[in-house]
Structure 1
Amino acid sequence: MSIDSYRSTITRLKKEKANLEKDLACERKKSSQLQGDISSLSQSITSSTSLSTQQSKRRQIDLKHKDLAQCHKKIADLETRVSVKMADIYRNLQSLEQAEKQKQKKQDQEQNKRAQEQKKRDTHAKLRQDEELRHVRTVTRETEKQAQLKRQLTDSRLVIDLARLPEKIKVLFVASNPIDQNQLRLDEEIRLITQKIRASEYRDSVDLVSSWAVRSSDFLQALNEYKPYVVHFSGHGSSSDELVFQTDDGKTKLVSKEAIVTTMKTFNDNIRVVIFNACFSSNQAKAVTQHVDAAIGMNDSIGDWAARVFAAQFYSAVGFGRSIKQAFDQGLAALLMEGIPEEDTPVLFTRDGIDPEDIILIRPPGLVVSDY
């Protein structure tokens, strides 16, 4: 029952109680009058010598006693009804008090909730402001690095390296999403990567191809067929340094780190960079740098959205001619910009003696040695 209903009920009960008390007062007055009449009649009997008069008085007294008995009965009934009304009023007053307390408690909870939400919004705004400031600092540092890189282009070693870069690189996107694993949005990942590459400055220099529902034999077939410059594995990884491929019936097949390293070794004539966009893949990434220039892996589990955001921004930076180190850092910055607290999960490894700042995958179109 609502608070208004309780108040309405209490008001009605009080009116009914007042009416009963009014009736009770009338009956009590009537009882007093009857008792007075009986007393007067009794006195008049003793003073009268007429037998007939005495008999008449006694009959009147008997009638008065009957009326008095009925009056007492009404008084008792009214007193009971008044008591019941008082109990009803008391019970409803208690219910009203409880309802008001509950309402106040709810209002206090809502007020606390609004205060917490406001505090959360304020905290989020502060965090976003801090992230934006960090992003500005990151962009400033990258701009300074680019200026330094331009100054270093007069270095003959770097000029030769740039000149030897292919005019177009092939990125092989290898997807494995077994039906007995948590399903990943790999289609969304390649969509974002494609979108970022198409929006980059050197979009025509990146050829993105894909191989889906990959089995072990499919992986080797794709590496032979496409001869990729960059291999990007997207799927699941295990805490035992294994990648999750698929069986013929679409279920999990674990492939060991040693098998992956051996595979990269046999294709190290064309593969330069490997990205393992899978959980617990940092050891694989570190191991394959015996045979390729650079590799990226994850040192812990990584969320599906985080993996997509990191990969998309990494290839965007590559498409703008950034170095592997700069592309990696931009991927981390993208995680921070999206408010995803997983910037410590991706890890970049390079072959001994190689600086990731020196690894640039795309040769700017039209570049010749004489330009520098």
Structure 2
Amino acid sequence: MSMTDTHRRELARLVDKEAALRKELHKYRAEVSKAEQNAQQYAQQASRASSVSSAQAALRSSSRESDKAVKAGKKVADIVKKIAENAKAQTLRNISLETSTKSDQRAQDRETERRRQKEKSEQRALDREADLRRQKEKSHAIEIARISAPTVHYVHIKPPEPEKLRVLYLTSNPGMDLRTDAEVRQVQQALRGAKYRDLVVIEQRPAATFQDLLDGLNDVRPHVIHFSGHAGTESLLLEGGAFEAGSEQVVSFGLLVKALDATDSPPALLVMNACDTLDGANVILPAVPVVIAMSDNVLDMAAILFAQQFYAALASGQSVGSALKQAKVIIERAMLDDTASELPQYIAREDVDVEKLILVKGEG
């Protein structure tokens, strides 16, 4: 039994004792009152007695009642003293109970905090194990994708020439929840103020289907393929081509690689302006030397700012590396979330230096 329980039990005993003392006090006070009344009555009888013997008998009775009143009064005084001592004992016991209760609460709080810290430590360990497991699964998936990737032409990047940079701009928005048209409009607006604006051609394919990708490879022969829309795990979400709202088609990176390889004029750069497109994108590198993708979920505003500044920089003769840095800077300036600027990332083949890769070069 804890000290707190001991104090509570002792305090309850004192309260019960106080109740018994007060009951006893009431009893003796009643005896004092009755004895005093009797003594007064006998004294009155003595004063009215007709004989000496009767008066003496009444006085003796009055004296006995007075003695009773005195004895009962002593009992009353003793009980009052005991009640006072009991009250003092209760006060001290309440103080001890309060101190013990606080001590128990502090001990309980320490135990609760210890358990909480232990649970947090165990959860961190579980999170680390889960993260390690995800990394292993991701590495395994990338390795499987690499092994199972189709054989494609190895694309060599040619030195920049004073020709127009052709961009096949595929936008897909089956759910009608993205601002892809606003993104294209802002890119075109930014290009109008660029140094070599006449050397960049944007060929947009709105509500793009997989067939639009193939047709674009044939008709545009793009140097850059840009996709803006939704993406899934190692896949892009294109329009399904049906008239009904929500018609869509999932195009895996494996199928995308085959499509990009099915041309005599493969692109030098693939830009995937869509959520979570960085994972697994390494499988695309044999077909496209440089891939820019998003490492996590990306907001509409960040996606628009990225595309706007990236193409404005390219059209000013900046390298792909510098254009990407400018895009990150403009996102960081505009966005409240500091991590948003780190979402656009690039992967490139070992023989490609994005800091020296210039896609737009004017004459002289």
Scaled by the length of structure 2, the TM-score of the pair is 0.53
Is contact 2:292-2:347 (8 Å) kept?
yes
2:222 alignment counterpart: 228
Specify the SS of the correspondent of 1:283.
coil
Q: Choose from 186, 209, 219 the match for 2:213.
A: 219
Pair 1:265–1:284, CA change in 2 (3 A): farther
Question: What is the rounded CA distance, in whole Å, between the counterparts of 1:340 and 1:307 in structure 2?
Answer: 14
Higher helix share: 1
Q: Choose from 311, 318, 329 the match for 2:314.
A: 318
Question: What is the rounded CA distance, in whole Å, between the counterparts of 1:203 and 1:303 in structure 2?
Answer: 27
2:342 alignment counterpart: 344
Specify the SS of the correspondent of 1:245.
strand
Shift of 1:165: 2.2
Pair 1:230–1:362, CA change in 2 (3 A): same
Question: What is the rounded CA distance, in whole Å, between the counterparts of 1:310 and 1:355 in structure 2?
Answer: 21
1:177 alignment counterpart: 173
Pair 1:268–1:277, CA change in 2 (3 A): farther
Pair 1:216–1:272, CA change in 2 (3 A): same
Question: What is the rounded CA distance, in whole Å, between the counterparts of 1:268 and 1:340 in structure 2?
Answer: 44
Is contact 1:284-1:297 (8 Å) kept?
no
Shift of 1:285: 3.8
1:274 alignment counterpart: 270
Question: What is the rounded CA distance, in whole Å, between the counterparts of 2:200 and 2:187 in structure 1?
Answer: 11
Is contact 1:268-1:292 (8 Å) kept?
no
Pair 1:268–1:315, CA change in 2 (3 A): farther
Shift of 1:283: 3.1
Deviations 1:17-75 (A, max 9, x none): xxxxxxxxxxxxxxxxxxxxxxxxxxxxxxxxxxxxxxxxxxxxxxxxxxxxxxxxxxx
Question: What is the rounded CA distance, in whole Å, between the counterparts of 1:284 and 1:307 in structure 2?
Answer: 20
**Which aligned pairs between 1:85-124 and structure 2 lie closer than 5 A?**
none
Letter matched to residue 357 of structure 2: I
Deviations 1:303-322 (A, max 9, x none): 11110001100001101100
Moved more, 267-276 or 292-301: 267-276
Gaps of 5+ in 1: 1-159, 368-372
Letter matched to residue 194 of structure 1: Q
Letter matched to residue 319 of structure 1: A
Specify the SS of the correspondent of 1:320.
coil
Pair 1:218–1:161, CA change in 2 (3 A): closer
Question: What is the rounded CA distance, in whole Å, between the counterparts of 2:176 and 2:221 in structure 1?
Answer: 30
Letter matched to residue 234 of structure 2: D
Pair 1:204–1:284, CA change in 2 (3 A): farther
Is contact 1:241-1:257 (8 Å) kept?
yes
Structure 1 residue 330 corresponds to structure 2 residue 326: yes
Question: What is the rounded CA distance, in whole Å, between the counterparts of 1:233 and 1:268 in structure 2?
Answer: 21
Question: What is the rounded CA distance, in whole Å, between the counterparts of 2:215 and 2:329 in structure 1?
Answer: 35
Deviations 1:313-367 (A, max 9, x none): 0001101100000000101001011024211211111122211111100112x23
Shift of 1:286: 2.8
1:294 alignment counterpart: 290
1:69 alignment counterpart: none
Q: Choose from 203, 206, 214 the match for 2:197.
A: 203
Question: What is the rounded CA distance, in whole Å, between the counterparts of 1:266 and 1:349 in structure 2?
Answer: 22
Q: Choose from 239, 243, 251 the match for 2:236.
A: 243
Q: Matched residue pairs, number? A: 203
1:71 alignment counterpart: none
1:305 alignment counterpart: 301
1:264 alignment counterpart: 260
Question: What is the rounded CA distance, in whole Å, between the counterparts of 2:307 and 2:193 in structure 1?
Answer: 15
2:351 alignment counterpart: 353
Runs ≥4 residues deviating over 4 A: none
Question: What is the rounded CA distance, in whole Å, between the counterparts of 1:171 and 1:237 in structure 2?
Answer: 20
Specify the SS of the correspondent of 2:211.
helix
Letter matched to residue 268 of structure 2: R
Letter matched to residue 231 of structure 1: I
Is contact 1:175-1:214 (8 Å) kept?
yes
Superposition CA RMSD, Å: 1.8
**Which aligned pairs between 1:108-147 and structure 2 lie closer than 5 A?**
none
Q: Choose from 189, 192, 196 the match for 2:183.
A: 189
Structure 1 residue 363 corresponds to structure 2 residue 357: no
Pair 1:248–1:167, CA change in 2 (3 A): closer
Specify the SS of the correspondent of 2:215.
helix
Pair 1:315–1:257, CA change in 2 (3 A): same
Shift of 1:289: 1.8
Specify the SS of the correspondent of 1:191.
helix
Question: What is the rounded CA distance, in whole Å, between the counterparts of 2:318 and 2:165 in structure 1?
Answer: 14
Deviations 1:105-130 (A, max 9, x none): xxxxxxxxxxxxxxxxxxxxxxxxxx
Identity of aligned residues (%): 31
